[in-house]
Amino acid sequence: MNIAAALARARAFLHRKGIEAAALEAEVLLAHVLGTDRVGLYREAHRTLTREERVRFEEMLSRRAAGEPVAYLTGHREFMGLDFLVTRDVLIPRPETELLVEMALEILGRGDVPGEPLLADVGTGSGAIAVSLARYLARGTVYATDISPAALAVAAENARRHGVTGRIVFLSGDLLAPVREILPPGSLVLVAANLPYIPSADIGRLMPDVACYEPHLALDGGADGLELYRRLVPQARELLVPGGHLLMEISPGQVSLLGPLFPPDTWQYRVHRDLAGRERLVVARKKAPF
Ligand SMILES: C[S@@+](CC[C@H](N)C(=O)[O-])C[C@H]1O[C@@H](n2cnc3c(N)ncnc32)[C@H](O)[C@@H]1O
């Protein structure tokens, strides 16, 4: 069977299994098996697959049909124009999280941050946020924490691949606790966090490719989804400089619960919508004392 015929069969198979982007996913998986890109498939459309290639492609297709996400099958996901290694130890970076990075870059690019800015990425996972910030900011250091040592190993590999190892300090532990051990209060200009925010009771209702494959440690945000953020906000308040920013990704239904997290004597906050028009990002600014 040649490449064109294998693709046609795979498309039809994934389509029958209810995969929406069957054509695209068939191409991504075959390109991965053959070590080429999607254009390469069409350049070599008439080449016959070896038996080994056919077997590997069929195995990928059946794992995909069983619900395994494409990013775990290929080990890659693009985020902020960068290629990230992903394994089942980390959440697959989501396009909506790019809003958080873009907003952080805009805030820090306003130019009034002197010297070498210190930032934090709490719950770094694959390192998507920390590595993107380090890559796109000319200066500064990112303190990236995670409670999962396995996730931190993936993040460290992503930092290495993108040449920013020297710009990120990886720390294992709960929220900002490991940063508090090494930095004095009032050190950080920005704290970014895409922590688990799905209410525990909703985890079972997620799409099976999320619920069955992605780490629950990366999803479960407790009773109302805000338990980790509720603990994070006072820690961030202590570590931020006056006028510093806390950026948190949330689920749209949580906006009405945010008020008590941000007492108006200490914080000003706004909620921004993602490209799909959903309220997704909290940008909170620590007020300067009078
Ligand atoms: C939703 S994932 C986000 C990963 C990454 N920041 C991203 O945007 O793709 C949340 C991450 O928070 C980590 N995490 C969960 N509880 C934590 C805690 N108490 N302290 C630090 N990290 C935590 C998980 O291990 C997971 O890697």
Question: Which atom of ligand 1 is nearest to 79's Cα?
Answer: 9
DSSP 146-190: ES-HHHHHHHHHHHHHTT-GGGEEEEESSTTHHHHTTS-TT-EEE
Q: What is the pLDDT of residues 58-104, one digit of tens each?
A: 999 999 999 999 999 999 999 999 999 999 999 999 999 999 999 99
Question: Taking all residues of the chain, what is their mean pLDDT, rounded to a whole number?
Answer: 95
- % pLDDT > 70, the chain: 98
pLDDT given at position 203: 87
* Minimum CA distance residue for ligand 1 atom 24: 218
Whether 111 has a pLDDT exceeding 80, the answer reads no
* Minimum CA distance residue for ligand 1 atom 19: 174
Q: What is the pLDDT of residues 27-70, one digit of tens each?
A: 999 999 999 998 999 999 999 999 999 999 999 999 999 999 99
Contact residues for 150 (Cβ-Cβ < 8 A; gap 6+): 87, 89
Question: Which atom of ligand 1 is nearest to 197's Cα?
Answer: 1
CA of 124 relative to ligand 1 center, distance in Å: 6
What's the one-letter identity of residue 182?
A: I
d(CA 225, CA 84): 27
Q: Which residues sit in the known binding site?
A: 123-127, 146, 194
Whether ipTM tops 0.90, in short, is yes
What's the one-letter identity of residue 127?
A: G
pLDDT given at position 207: 83
Whether the CB of 158 sits within 6 Å of ligand 1: no
pLDDT given at position 114: 66
**Range 129-148 average pLDDT:** 97
Per the listing, tokens 């075959």 go with: 30
* Minimum CA distance residue for ligand 1 atom 9: 93
pLDDT given at position 185: 97
Instruction: Provide the sign of the torsion angle of the four alpha carbons 56, 61, 64, 69, taken in this order.
Output: positive
pLDDT given at position 288: 84
**Range 168-194 average pLDDT:** 98
Angle subtended by helix axes 3-16 and 51-65, to nearest 10 = 20
pLDDT given at position 270: 97
Whether the CB of 151 sits within 6 Å of ligand 1: yes
Q: Within a 10 A sphere around the Cβ of 9, how many other Cβ atoms?
A: 15
* Minimum CA distance residue for ligand 1 atom 14: 123
Q: 173: pLDDT confidence band, cut at 50, 70 and 90?
A: very high
Q: What is the pLDDT of residues 195-204, one digit of tens each?
A: 999 999 888 8
Whether 112 has a pLDDT exceeding 70, the answer reads no
Q: 272: pLDDT confidence band, cut at 50, 70 and 90?
A: very high
CA of 128 relative to ligand 1 center, distance in Å: 11
Whether 205 has a pLDDT exceeding 90, the answer reads no
Question: Which atom of ligand 1 is nearest to 130's Cα?
Answer: 6
Question: Which atom of ligand 1 is nearest to 93's Cα?
Answer: 9
Q: Which residues sit in the known binding site for S-adenosyl-L-methionine?
A: 123-127, 146, 194
- % pLDDT > 90, the chain: 89
CA of 148 relative to ligand 1 center, distance in Å: 8
pLDDT given at position 30: 97
Question: Which atom of ligand 1 is nearest to 94's Cα?
Answer: 9
* Beta-strand relationship, 168-172 and 141-146: parallel
Q: What is the pLDDT of residues 215-269, one digit of tens each?
A: 889 899 999 999 999 999 999 999 999 999 999 999 999 999 999 999 999 999 9
d(CA 212, CA 256): 29
CA of 196 relative to ligand 1 center, distance in Å: 6
Identify the burial level of 232 via C-beta atoms within 10 angstroms of its C-beta, where 0-12 means exposed, 13-18 middle and 19 or more buried: buried
Whether the CB of 254 sits within 6 Å of ligand 1: no
Per the listing, tokens 């710009």 go with: 167
- Residue among 127, 95, 100 at smallest CA distance from 250: 100
Kindly list the structural domains of the chain, giving each domain's residue range(s) and its CATH number in brackets, ordered by start: 3-66 (1.10.8), 76-286 (3.40.50.150)
